[in-house]
Amino acid sequence: MKALHPDFPYSPSDLLRSVEGLIRWSNVQITRTGVIWSPPTIDSFKWNVDGYSLGKPGLSGIGGVLRNHHGYLLGIFSLPVGILDSNIAELRAVVKAVELSTSNCLLHHKHITIESDSANVISWMHNSHNRPWMHRELFSTVQRLTRFFGSITFSHVYRESNSLAYCMDKQGVRRSSDFIAWF
């Protein structure tokens, strides 16, 4: 990750030995541009997700980071998703966050916030008339899985407050297999 984010202070072997450093690093809230990551409300959880494409379309990856109201890192993912454009990669990141949330019973019946830096995807999540029809199956998956949660909110954020997810999606492009970790 250091190669993808110059401020990341830990090597892969450091992370295998202990996730404490990653948890500490992920709680940094003020970025170089002054944008602040804000924690979710008490007893709720927040995914920051991102999708990346090396072209339009191009080789793509997705990433996401789950934190609780203390800002502690609870889960992380980085996956290759094939040849997509950046909007659909971002949509796949939203879908993966919802799918992973349903797989963790600790998140059931809780409020989940999903933040993305894609204004298009957040607009699609809020307005079903705007959605690209060819991806209706992805939207249906999200709709079907929302019954597991007390509520779910989709919000747009600037890239600067989505930095760890941004690192994970870049890493996903280069992966040959999925990386998913729960802490």
**pLDDT (tens digit per residue) in 13-31:** 554 444 454 544 454 444 4
User: Which carries the bigger pLDDT value, residue 35 or residue 176?
Assistant: 176
Question: CA–CA separation, 176 vs 26, rounded Å?
Answer: 25
Residue 177 dihedral angles phi and psi, to the nearest 5° = -145, 170
So what's the pLDDT on residue 183? 87
Average pLDDT, the chain: 85
Give the Å distances, CA to CA, from 130 to 82, 116, 121, 124, 136.
Answer: 24, 17, 10, 6, 11
Asked whether residue 147 carries a pLDDT value surpassing 90, the answer given is yes
In the structure, what pLDDT confidence band is assigned to residue 6 with cuts at 50, 70 and 90?
A: low
Question: What's the average model confidence in pLDDT over 81-88?
Answer: 96
So what's the pLDDT on residue 25? 46
Q: At what angle do helices 136-145 and 86-103 cross, to 10 degrees?
A: 20
- Name the token pair of 183: 């802490």
Alpha-helical runs (H) found in the chain: 12-17, 20-26, 86-103, 119-126, 136-145, 163-174
In sign, the C-alpha dihedral spanning 177, 82, 90, 55 is positive
Residue with tokens 């870049």: 170
Question: What's the average model confidence in pLDDT over 79-99?
Answer: 97
Question: What's the average model confidence in pLDDT over 4-10?
Answer: 49
So what's the pLDDT on residue 32? 52
Tens-digit pLDDT profile for residues 148-157: 999 999 999 9
In sign, the C-alpha dihedral spanning 178, 32, 68, 9 is positive
Question: CA–CA separation, 146 vs 160, rounded Å?
Answer: 28
Nearest to 65 by CA among 53, 82, 77, 54: 77
Distance of CA 33 to the CA centre of its chain: 21
User: Which carries the bigger pLDDT value, residue 10 or residue 168?
Assistant: 168
Tens-digit pLDDT profile for residues 30-78: 445 555 788 999 999 999 999 999 989 999 999 999 999 998 999 999 9
